[in-house]
Structure 1
Amino acid sequence: MIRQNSIVVPQPATLKAWWALLRPYWTSDRKRGAMALLSALLILTFSLTYVRLALTVWMGHYQQTVIKYDATAIPSLLLTFLAILGLDIGVNVAVNFINLALGINWRSWLTKRFLQRWMNGKAFYWIEQEQSVDNPDQRITEDIDQFVTASLTLSLGLFGTVTQLIVFTKVLWIKSGALALSLFGNVIQIPHYMVWLAIVYSLTTSLIVQFAGRRLQPLTFQKQRAEANFRFMMTGVREHVEQIALLGGGPTEIKRVGQAFEEVRSNFWRILMFNLRFEPVTLGIGFVSALFAGFALLPRYLSHQITFGDMTQLSATFGVVAASLQWFIQNFVALQQYRVVVSRLAGLDAAINLSSLPRGPHYDSSLSNTISVTDLDLQTPQGRTLVSGLTVTLRPGERWMVSGPSGAGKSTLLRALAGIWHYGAGRVTLPTHAKLFFLPQKNYIPPGTLKAALCYPADPHAFDDETCRRVLTDCQLGQYSDVLDEVARWGNNLSPGEQQRLGFARVLLQQPDYLLLDESTSALDEENETNLYQLITQRLPEAAIVSVSHHSSLERFHTHALRIENGQARQTSPIAVA
């Protein structure tokens, strides 16, 4: 389990976690189509067993025909072989096609489910604050794909293996005969000895592989985590190339990213050293398996109890039975990787579930048009108290200026008013039908068209182009009014001041009832800052506005003031309004 800030994110037992991940899709509204595809796969997989049995029987006939120099039987054998080959190819193509179709349907459904649960209710924000699981984005983008693919591959492989085991064991049981052993002058007959030999051999080799490979799962888990952290750091460098270049941070980033890669390299060598011990075991078992059946059948062949063709057929049959019983060995690495994927997805699932548990300030909704804060205590995720006992009511048309020293809890208060802060106590009552808009110091500007960036989080079709051009011009961004449909990484193309002005243009489009401004004009000169505040107070006269800023020049645009200092919030009398 992972413990973070007194919160425990359990890692469920693998079997329980596997069932919790597997069950939802197969009981969802997609279950009929999924079951139909799965049934087709099982039928086709079952058919492959008999195709393989037919090939095994054909091999015995072919070997015996060659030994007898019977040229007249060759054409018939070739026609039979072509028929078996055609069936094998056709069934395998159908299996692969249906398997891929079922896999993409399952992955699509499961990805949407995780995305909705991760993004809805702001679970993604809580998980990032708590750092309860690493790289949740990779778990959704990569681990779900691996989970679906491995689930289908392993389950169908196991079904096919069980089918082969039943069918081929029956053949081996009938044809293997008895082995006579002389022990202390007594002759002991072991009937169906090839079946018992296959069971003993497979169980022995399986135990050997289990013992030799017991360290593979933790090594695989560490590998995926190290690789994901390395990719995350590289992505961060790419997103902040300008700041790194301006600060001359290249050497530092080389060292920092190099340290992340060092964990990848170190884990690679641990896996390499593991393979030096593990691979000789599996390779040795594989080499012995190829000859084992032939040596076991040699006494009956030399005593003329079976023909060479029978020996060939029985060797192939024994190989199938032994391989079926050794399914664990053959899929040992895949099973360990699968367990890691299940554990990672289960960890994300558990973190999402915990994010919905009530904790911290209690958030209520009300039909009232006010935001009410009662006995609010705010803490950091580490438990340090920022503000204690705050009680305040925000009404439509009021404009509050929140001030205080850096780190006092001003921005945290805004996040509590937005309903996303979960560290502390008290009660925050939010109006049910009011529209609340949060404008941070640094705006999120997604890549794509400028119009989509401007309209975010609304759909770009929610506003016509003329309205978009007008708000851009109002916010001193008129130079971009003719490139609304241009696709670019606007977060990199716009200066910090332009990004903040774009944020205010969003406000004019959204027309919120409550506007929370967190250092939203820190990159602007006083003239632009004044123009924007005048603009929103004129365009949003009924909106309640709460501003966090260190600029005393903004006080004149507010009707109320709140000072946070030394863990206490102190209200002052209404101030002059511009």
Structure 2
Amino acid sequence: MASLTEHSRLPGPTKRLRSLAREIYNTPGRTALLFLAAGLFIVIVLTAVMQVKLNAWNQPFYDAIERRNWNEFLHQLGVFFLLAAGLLVLNVAQTAANQLIRVRLRDLATRDLIGNWMTERRATRITRAGEIGVNPDQRIQSDAQTLTEYTTDLGIGLLQSTILLVSFVGVLWILSKDVVIPIGDRDLAIPGYMVWAALLYAASGSFISWRIGRPLVRLGTDRYAREAEFRAAVVQASQRAEGIALSNGEAGSRRVLVASLESLVAVLRQIAFARARLTWVTASYGWVGLVFPIIVAAPGYFAGRLTFGELMMVVGAFNQVQSSLRWFVDNTGTIADWRATLFRVMSFREALLGLDAVETVDGVIAREESANDRLVLDGVNVCTRHGTVALSDELVEVSPGERVLLLGQPGSGRTSFFLAIAGLWAHGSGRIAIPPDAEIAYLTQRPFLPAGTLREALAGAGSGATDDEGLRAALARVGLDRLADALDRAGRWDLELATSDQERLGYARLILAKPRWLVSDEGLDPTDDPNRALILSILSQELAETTIVNISQRREPTGFYTRVVELVSSDPGDRVVTACAAQMNESR
């Protein structure tokens, strides 16, 4: 079986970013993003024009200082404040555009991830795909946020640096004609001397920064993975706090949390040292950059070819060119984080899109829609982490109106067999033909109750009546009529309601949906006798025509089932078990 892991072969960063950009561009909300991007481009171009003017202002201003011309000095101060006011307006506009693009990008990127995750049952299928399926919440929420913010900031920074470079490189080239290097009695004039100096300075810094900062990409990927694991461990401990306290398990839980924290801290410590090493380069280049252009241009000034104002204009133009060229040096650490989050987000997205290809290769259970309105289990052999489980009969066909019990002992793999029928577990062999999903309801011991209004929890997907009268009647039928006035109250019903009441809410949902087929994983074996009597009553009355396939370890109630088929587990030493284990290891 094909593999879906964190380190699966994926395109490089450029192709991954292009793939994400293509999907974002194809979303309905792209128009607003394109308008924002166009407006931002105009603002950056205008900012570059104003900065060229500000750089040209250096010459008359510093020449006025050199000549001690008070009136010209005041005049140039007035010019400066006008330029500064214009740049201030443009800076505010650029910041606003930056923030709005961040929000829009995150909205579109996260919608794309949610759309690919919460469809075709991928949200649960990906959890069984190995490392890539661990902590999807981290990738969809935190990683997507980091990716879109870094993409916005780096993209705008790169665009601005490129425009400034184009704007000032010509200015610096022209100004370089007056910068000469005296050699004995002769003056050496190098065309574009200051431009070449800026290129050499920035290129050397970029190369050294890349060499030293390269490990940060891998460390960043490891860090986000450890952060996700630690957060998941804390959330799990919080959700199970009551059970931990009652079982005196605080010491054990504390050890688990501390071990997860230590794993995270170890990676953070490596990142700290890596960033410190990188800072030697970036900081030194920053400090040297303060005097480097003056040193390079000094021969022209001391030779009398440049006035003090012209020297400052050359220095200003050099700083703009050099700042644009050393964009990579200044952003090496951020680029490393950006690549790490891009890898995590896009590898997750690629894994989601690749699930179908992985689960349709040889060596997995074939699942198809039935052509004759029957549920067919043909030679189904389900691989679990502890062995295999199959039916005592090679071929089982369930016809409409039947009530079939698939009887299995504890630990025999009943839940895995249920998931295989539901299309959520593909490991194994054989063929499952099933009626259309719209006609089937799946029932577990504890139903899923989404956060939101009680009306939404009752309606579910594909439920029938959603009017108040129908909903209240269903609640009354299952003994939850006290909730009739809370239909439009939002809440966490999985936390507010007792387990038995959650089961009853699931029964009410079945009454509303009226499915033609019901596949249950011990859903007919509730926690207490009143609920057991209630669900059997519903199946005998409201759902009397519903076909039932129940997977359970209980034969009761006597006379309820039309047929009983046993689930058979393979011996742990069986060759089939060994083959299954190899197949599952390959898929992970």
For the criterion TM > 0.5, the same-fold answer is yes
Aligned-residue sequence identity (percent) comes to 26
**C-alpha distance in 2, partners of 1:198/1:23?**
36
SS in 2 for 1:492: helix
**C-alpha distance in 1, partners of 2:411/2:386?**
14
**2:258 corresponds to:** 258
1:497 pairs with one of 491, 497, 500? 500
Q: CA deviation at 1:549?
A: 2.5
Verify the 8 A CA contact 1:496 1:523 in the aligned structure 2: no
Given the two structures, how large is their TM-score scaled by the length of structure 1? 0.91
**C-alpha distance in 1, partners of 2:31/2:438?**
42
**C-alpha distance in 1, partners of 2:448/2:438?**
23
**C-alpha distance in 1, partners of 2:559/2:530?**
14
Unaligned runs of 5+ in 2: 572-588
* Shift in CA distance, 153/567, structure 1 to aligned 2, threshold 3 Å: same
**C-alpha distance in 2, partners of 1:41/1:426?**
57
SS in 2 for 1:316: helix
**C-alpha distance in 2, partners of 1:175/1:453?**
72
**2:433 corresponds to:** 429
2:420 pairs with one of 416, 423, 435? 416
**1:310 corresponds to:** 310
User: Which deviates more, 94-103 or 304-313?
Assistant: 94-103
**1:352 corresponds to:** 352
1:286-310 Cα shifts (integer Å, max 9, x gaps):
1100111112222222222211111
Q: How does 1:237-248 map to 2 (within 5 A)?
A: 237-248=237-248
**C-alpha distance in 2, partners of 1:283/1:276?**
10
SS in 1 for 2:401: coil
* Shift in CA distance, 483/27, structure 1 to aligned 2, threshold 3 Å: closer
Verify the 8 A CA contact 1:369 1:434 in the aligned structure 2: no
Verify the 8 A CA contact 1:132 1:351 in the aligned structure 2: no
**C-alpha distance in 2, partners of 1:555/1:346?**
53
**C-alpha distance in 2, partners of 1:548/1:115?**
32
**C-alpha distance in 1, partners of 2:419/2:84?**
66
* Shift in CA distance, 274/296, structure 1 to aligned 2, threshold 3 Å: same
**1:377 corresponds to:** 381
1:329 aligns with 2:329: yes
Amino acid at match of 2:467: D
* Shift in CA distance, 549/479, structure 1 to aligned 2, threshold 3 Å: farther
**C-alpha distance in 1, partners of 2:187/2:74?**
45
1:387 pairs with one of 378, 383, 390? 390
**C-alpha distance in 1, partners of 2:186/2:553?**
101
Return the structure number with greater relative CO, CA threshold 8 A, min gap 6.
2
Q: CA deviation at 1:216?
A: 1.2
**1:548 corresponds to:** 551
Verify the 8 A CA contact 1:9 1:350 in the aligned structure 2: no
* Shift in CA distance, 239/446, structure 1 to aligned 2, threshold 3 Å: farther
Aligned length: 563
* Shift in CA distance, 45/523, structure 1 to aligned 2, threshold 3 Å: same
**1:397 corresponds to:** 401
Verify the 8 A CA contact 1:103 1:152 in the aligned structure 2: yes
SS in 2 for 1:517: strand
**C-alpha distance in 1, partners of 2:264/2:240?**
23
User: Which deviates more, 384-393 or 163-172?
Assistant: 384-393
SS in 1 for 2:183: strand
Q: How does 1:137-286 map to 2 (within 5 A)?
A: 137-176=137-176, 177-182=178-183, 188-286=188-286
**1:469 corresponds to:** 472
Q: CA deviation at 1:29?
A: 5.0
User: Which deviates more, 159-168 or 469-478?
Assistant: 469-478
Verify the 8 A CA contact 1:377 1:390 in the aligned structure 2: no
Verify the 8 A CA contact 1:370 1:396 in the aligned structure 2: yes
1:449 aligns with 2:453: yes
Amino acid at match of 1:236: Q
SS in 1 for 2:519: strand
Q: CA deviation at 1:383?
A: 8.7
Over the aligned positions, Cα root-mean-square deviation in angstroms equals: 2.6
1:324-351 Cα shifts (integer Å, max 9, x gaps):
1111101111111111111111211221
SS in 2 for 1:120: coil
Verify the 8 A CA contact 1:367 1:433 in the aligned structure 2: no
* Shift in CA distance, 246/493, structure 1 to aligned 2, threshold 3 Å: farther
**C-alpha distance in 1, partners of 2:430/2:355?**
18
